[in-house]
């Protein structure tokens, strides 16, 4: 079965099909599901996404090309001093290192009770993932508008980092004293093996 069968059927039938990005912030205590439209969007997987109504924006969501791992920024503007304080005080415990996943969602089911045409087609499809790394805060002194931006590091940026271990005898001995599995790793660097050896 292919991807987006309902969306393809609707498009081929000439029906209205729209698309929106959904963003899941997997915060420690309370994950947040957000989208750029108005109201609550209920997707076919049972999740509900809170609309930001134009107060949120994202930049830098790109495919990793040529070994690069671009960072992205997610900004929420129009917040009050209390929300800004919470974002500042709780970032380390709630946000740093947590996942962000961007989904693509098609919608467009005709419904007279839904004038904004927000009935979903198919399930959300993940298109990008990252981890939150740092916040920045801004206040427009003329308007008094506050905003918070979360900089996120693409998951591809971690691909060259060792996962808390090295392929060395010393590291293996720290973990499993007496294990000789990595004892000769150093002697294998640039070693030429002939196979089969008759």
Tell me the C-alpha distance between 30 and 94, whole Å. Answer: 9
Using the predicted structure, report yes or no on whether residue 23 has a pLDDT greater than 70. Answer: yes
Tell me the C-alpha distance between 55 and 52, whole Å. Answer: 5
Q: Whole-prediction pTM value?
A: 0.72
pLDDT tens figures, 58-79? 988 877 666 666 789 999 998 8
- End-to-end Cα distance, the chain: 51
Using pLDDT thresholds of 50, 70 and 90, give the confidence band for residue 172: confident
Pair 35, 48: CB distance under 8 Å: no
């Amino acid at each position: 079965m292919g991807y987006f069968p309902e969306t393809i059927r609707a498009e081929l039938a000439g029906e209205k099909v729209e698309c929106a990005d959904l963003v899941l912030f997997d915060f420690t205590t309370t994950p947040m599901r957000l989208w750029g439209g108005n109201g609550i969007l209920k997707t076919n997987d049972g999740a509900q996404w809170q609309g930001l109504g134009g107060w949120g924006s994202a930049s830098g969501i790109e495919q990793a090309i040529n070994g690069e791992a671009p960072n992205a920024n997610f900004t929420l503007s129009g917040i009050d001093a209390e929300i800004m304080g919470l974002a500042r005080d709780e970032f380390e415990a709630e946000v740093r290192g947590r996942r962000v996943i961007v989904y693509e969602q098609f919608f467009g089911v005709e419904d007279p009770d839904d004038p904004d045409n927000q009935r979903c087609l198919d399930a959300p499809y993940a298109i990008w993932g990252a981890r939150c790394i740092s916040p920045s805060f801004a206040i427009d002194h003329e308007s008094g508008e506050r905003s918070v931006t979360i900089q996120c590091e693409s998951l591809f940026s971690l691909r060259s980092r060792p996962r808390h271990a090295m392929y060395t005898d010393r590291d293996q001995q720290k973990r499993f004293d007496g294990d000789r599995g990595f004892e000769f790793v150093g002697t294998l660097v640039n070693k030429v093996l002939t196979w089969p050896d008759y």
